[in-house]
Structure 1
Amino acid sequence: MAESDLKLYDQAHLFDHLTTKQRQIIAAAIDVFAEIGYANASTKLVAQRAGVAEGNLFAKFKNKAGLLDAILQPVMTQIVPKIFNDFIGASAKHPETDLKTLIRQLVSERIDFLIANAKVLKLLFSELAYSQSRRDLLAQAIPAPQIARMGQTFTELKQQGQLVDWPDAEIFQLLWSLLGGAAVNYLFYQQVPDADKLTRSILKVLRP
């Protein structure tokens, strides 16, 4: 168990209201769920890893499902939208950015984020793989104005002849597929992404 696993939440002040024991439980749960999988974990093991009585877990989080929600809900509804918003905001400040620079920035920042928050993201990807409701929640959390702003950037790059003239939905799908595939390979198979190689692969497809 490591307090560093909560860094993602602490940066957004999402767990400021929790007690020390509750933070220990959350950190232990992230550790255990990422290590052996949510389905194989028990509240007893989480409590043991946290160094608290199992009753402390039930008092705040009710059960294992409640504990999982406490970990994933803030990521999907607050952290992911903020990351998306920050990236779009940075792109808007530099409208002259070419496709290569945009993709390199996207890839580099996502790899850094992936490595820094591997345990939480492993748990998130595992749940998204078979939970339609969580996928729907994540999709709804992305701010529509920011998607529109990214679409505007795509339009400008298409007009400049830098980006293939595909529907924006297909471009988003391609980016998700390649970035998501790299994330899965790292989280589940310990293959560290090569930022330069991944950038080249994306550009090879997206350039006219």
Structure 2
Amino acid sequence: MSDSEWITELIKDTEHATMSDKQRKILEAAIDTFSEKGYSGSSTSEIAKKAGVAEGTIFRHYKTKKELLLAIVTPTVAKFVAPFFIKSFAKEVFENEYERYEDFLRVVAKNRLEFVRKQFPVLKIFIQEIAFHDELREPFQKLFADHVYEKFKRIIEHFQEKGEIISLPPQTIMRMTASSIIGYILPRFLLFSDMDWDDEKEIDQIVEFVMYGLSGRK
């Protein structure tokens, strides 16, 4: 999804229905600038220049640079990340039945990869800033706890009961699973986006790597 498409989705919300053309341009410019340089490396004067407005115009809409950041990222969590976990992720991943844990793992990896591919410009800002702003981190933590953790835990316990994966605490297995997938996705889009990636092959290797550890094979 491009920046302009994301802004179009954003202003469909009633809260943003009266967004002016200038405000839209400010958000588009801020997304582009924050994504490229990070929050701390960006200035409101640079954003204003890119948006084609006076710097004072930004402060008429957003009192501080941080308020501008939250205006971008908070709706992303509410409008895109939240539905992904609650609807898309839950329906496409957790409501299915799997014969093997590796089948589940492969679906999760493909689902997450496609999500990041579509939302990357704004998610990049979220990834860069989540460690520094409680306002971004806390809603995400609550979202995971409310809508993902228990479903993920039940799947892990199911395959532990079948003897397919070793008896580690479910949260440990979640962390191992997530870190392996994220360890591919972040370099894939953040560090080496120009490389010629074979996503299918990479996902197969992730699944093989994780399952080798979780199966207890020696």
Structure 1 runs not aligned, ≥5 long: none
| Cα displacement string for residues 53-103 of structure 1 (whole angstroms, at most 9, x for unaligned residues) | 323322222221111011111233443232222322333432244322211
* Structure 2 residue aligned with 1:169: 171
Aligned-residue identity in percent: 24
Q: Which moved more, 1:45-54 or 1:86-95?
A: 86-95
Give the TM-score normalised by the residue count of structure 2.
Answer: 0.79
Deviation of 1:43 after TM superposition, in Å, equals 0.9
CA root-mean-square deviation: 2.7
Q: Taking structure 1 as reference, are residues 164 and 8 closer, same or farther at Cα in structure 2, changes over 3 Å only?
A: farther
Within a 5 Å distance, the mapping from 1:1-208 to structure 2 comes to 4-8=2-6, 10=8, 13-14=12-13, 17=17, 18-85=19-86, 86-131=88-133, 134-190=136-192, 192=197, 194-208=202-216
Structure 2 runs not aligned, ≥5 long: none
Q: Taking structure 1 as reference, are residues 74 and 164 closer, same or farther at Cα in structure 2, changes over 3 Å only?
A: farther
Deviation of 1:132 after TM superposition, in Å, equals 5.2
Give the TM-score normalised by the residue count of structure 1.
Answer: 0.83
Q: Could you tell me which amino acid in structure 2 is paired with residue 203 of structure 1?
A: M
Distance between the aligned counterparts of 1:146 and 1:36, measured in 2?
32
Q: Could you tell me which amino acid in structure 1 is paired with residue 31 of structure 2?
A: I
Q: Could you tell me which amino acid in structure 2 is paired with residue 4 of structure 1?
A: S
CA contact (8 A) 1:91 1:97 kept: no
| Cα displacement string for residues 159-183 of structure 1 (whole angstroms, at most 9, x for unaligned residues) | 2222332212112211232223223
